[in-house]
Amino acid sequence: MSKALTAWIEGIGFLAPGLPDWPTARAVLRGEQAYAPAPSVLPAPSILPPAERRRASRVVKLTLAVGREAAAHAGADVGQLATVFSASGADGHNCHALCEQLAGEDRQISPTRFHNSVHNAAAGYWGIATGAMAPCQVICAYDASFGAGLLDALGQVVVDRQTTLLIAYDSEYPQPLFAKRPVPDVAGVGLVLAPQRTERSLAQITVAPDTANAEPLADAALEDLRTAIPALRALPLLRKLALGEGGVICLDYLPPMQLGVAIQPC
């Protein structure tokens, strides 16, 4: 009675340190361009109304960037897509500021700080920016967040037959939390997943439980990114998509459970 966790990838968005968008990441993953480390660059969130734009944090800018890039790549209307946001943490800078203030004498925190503290803040801003009233899921599974997000997104695609935008993303904490959770910078991956093949389809993927090890990336700097930023556990999949290659790869999920991904380019 099992149904395969199968979807067609229609669009990709990407942002990571030294890799400002999917075309750049694709060229690097194809070996056409050397990886040049640099801090992540976040575009201004021009799509937000002025009040929300002023309050937009790094995770908000990040998710708008990778989500909109993926949707544009797919030729999809962001206002119609169901979304799955998956992140190992929320806005680290906001969290630090809150904890610092709550440890002091004056605990009258600002309302904006509070509503920006929720794990689903980026998803909330996404809704305001895009007008999307479709279901929006917000997941956390620590280092396994990409895999957890992928599983739920595939659930929506296969069971609900709904094209779904997965946005996996992470952000850094400032000190002293950084010492406890050293995510080095912001990074995010956006994937538009459709329930059937269309003329836009880039590849078909089918996900199944596995126990193999994830294959490390040959480039040491990229491998460091894969292991340092949970959303970038997706890199072995993205490398295959960049190369336009089929095959089966393994992604890190939640030990001992890994995710095997069978990829077939369209």
Query: What track of x and - describes contact with another protein for positions 197 through 226 (by CB under 8 A)?
Result: ------------x-----------------
| Min separation Cβ 9 and another protein, Å | 18
Is 98 a binding residue for another protein by CB under 8 A? The answer is yes
Got the DSSP string for 38-51? ----PPP-TTS-HH
| Min separation Cβ 31 and another protein, Å | 34
Pick the closer one to another protein by CB: 29 or 56.
56
| Min separation Cβ 90 and another protein, Å | 8
Pick the closer one to another protein by CB: 98 or 194.
98
Q: What secondary structure, in 3-state letters, does 67-99 show?
A: HHHHHHHHCCCCCCCEEEEEECCCCHHHHHHHH
Pairing of strands 164-170, 82-87: parallel
CA distances from 129 to 46, 65, 108, 125, 157 (A): 9, 12, 29, 6, 23
Spatial distance between the Cα atoms of 37 and 242, rounded to a whole number of angstroms = 19
Q: What is the DSSP letter of 16?
A: B
Is 248 a binding residue for another protein by CB under 8 A? The answer is no
For residue 203, which amino acid is it?
A: A
Burial class (CB in 10 A: 0-12, 13-18, 19+), 56: buried
Pick the closer one to another protein by CB: 46 or 180.
180
Is 133 a binding residue for another protein by CB under 8 A? The answer is yes
Q: How far is CA 199 from the centre of its chain?
A: 24
Residue 251, sorted as left (phi over 0), alpha (psi -120 to 50) or beta, turns out to be: beta
Choose, by CB under 8 A, the member of 33, 43, 47, 119 that binds another protein.
119
| Min separation Cβ 74 and another protein, Å | 19
**12: its two tokens:** 């990709």
How many C-beta atoms surround the C-beta of residue 127 within 10 A?
Answer: 15
How many C-beta atoms surround the C-beta of residue 142 within 10 A?
Answer: 11
| Min separation Cβ 166 and another protein, Å | 13
| Min separation Cβ 3 and another protein, Å | 5
| Min separation Cβ 149 and another protein, Å | 8
Is 177 a binding residue for another protein by CB under 8 A? The answer is yes
Is 227 a binding residue for another protein by CB under 8 A? The answer is no
Is 77 a binding residue for another protein by CB under 8 A? The answer is no
Is 158 a binding residue for another protein by CB under 8 A? The answer is yes
Choose, by CB under 8 A, the member of 37, 131, 216, 247 that binds another protein.
131
Q: Which residues bind another protein (CB under 8 A)?
A: 1-3, 5, 52, 88-90, 95, 98-100, 102-103, 107-111, 113-121, 123-125, 127-128, 130-142, 144-145, 148, 151-152, 154-156, 158-160, 175-177, 179-181, 209, 253-254, 256-257
